[in-house]
């Protein structure tokens, strides 16, 4: 059994509404969409800390690639459900980031939990270190915080 790690960094919160195109014939969200919603959460986490993935990639020439991804499905998300994605960082080193996600319906029902592990690489695909600027931004509570 995998040990759960508690975040020392504050969460970011995102909201999405399940679109028709994200569901099957029964109106249930297709399983792969949860990983897309995790990305929404990661992007919001970075934005809350004062930068975007795109800006980091352009400025530093570095990329955060997914090395591991896990999702535990609890209750189905259905067409037009409003989902709340809470994203935290549970591990942050110069070369890796581990994000944790909790997805709930707006009514509070648990939908899914998950995590992704990211490795920082350069344009040549070699492991790299996150510049201090981005380490500091990721560790702060909110932009300007």
Would you call 71 helix, strand, or coil by DSSP?
strand
Percent residues over pLDDT 70 in the chain: 90
Summarize pLDDT for 22-73 with one digit per residue, the tens: 999 999 999 999 999 999 999 999 999 999 989 999 999 999 999 999 999 9
By the 8 A CB rule, do 83 and 111 touch? yes
- Report pLDDT for 143: 58
- Enumerate the H helices of the chain as residue ranges: 33-48, 53-60, 132-139
Active site residue 55: no
Judged against a pLDDT cut of 50, whether residue 80 lies above it is answered with: yes
Catalytic residue among 24, 55, 81, 107: 24
The band of 7, judged by pLDDT with boundaries at 50, 70 and 90, is low
By the 8 A CB rule, do 103 and 77 touch? yes
Judged against a pLDDT cut of 60, whether residue 96 lies above it is answered with: yes
pTM metric for this prediction? 0.89
Percent residues over pLDDT 90 in the chain: 86
134: left (phi over 0), alpha (psi -120 to 50) or beta: alpha
Cα–Cα distance, 60 to 58 (Å, whole number): 6
């Amino acid at each position: 059994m995998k040990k759960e790690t508690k975040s020392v960094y504050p969460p970011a919160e995102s909201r999405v509404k399940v679109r028709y195109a994200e569901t099957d014939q029964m109106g249930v969200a297709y399983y792969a969409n949860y990983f897309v919603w995790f990305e929404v959460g990661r992007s919001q986490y970075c934005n809350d800390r004062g930068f975007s993935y795109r800006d980091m990639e352009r400025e530093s020439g570095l990329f955060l690639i997914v090395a591991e991804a896990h999702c535990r499905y609890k209750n189905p998300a259905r067409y037009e459900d409003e989902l709340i994605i809470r994203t935290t960082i549970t591990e942050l080193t110069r070369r890796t980031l581990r994000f944790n996600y909790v997805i709930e319906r707006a009514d509070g029902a648990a939908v899914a939990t998950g995590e992704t592990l990211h490795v920082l690489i350069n344009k040549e695909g070699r492991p790299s270190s996150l510049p201090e600027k981005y380490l500091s931004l990721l560790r702060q509570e909110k932009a300007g915080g």
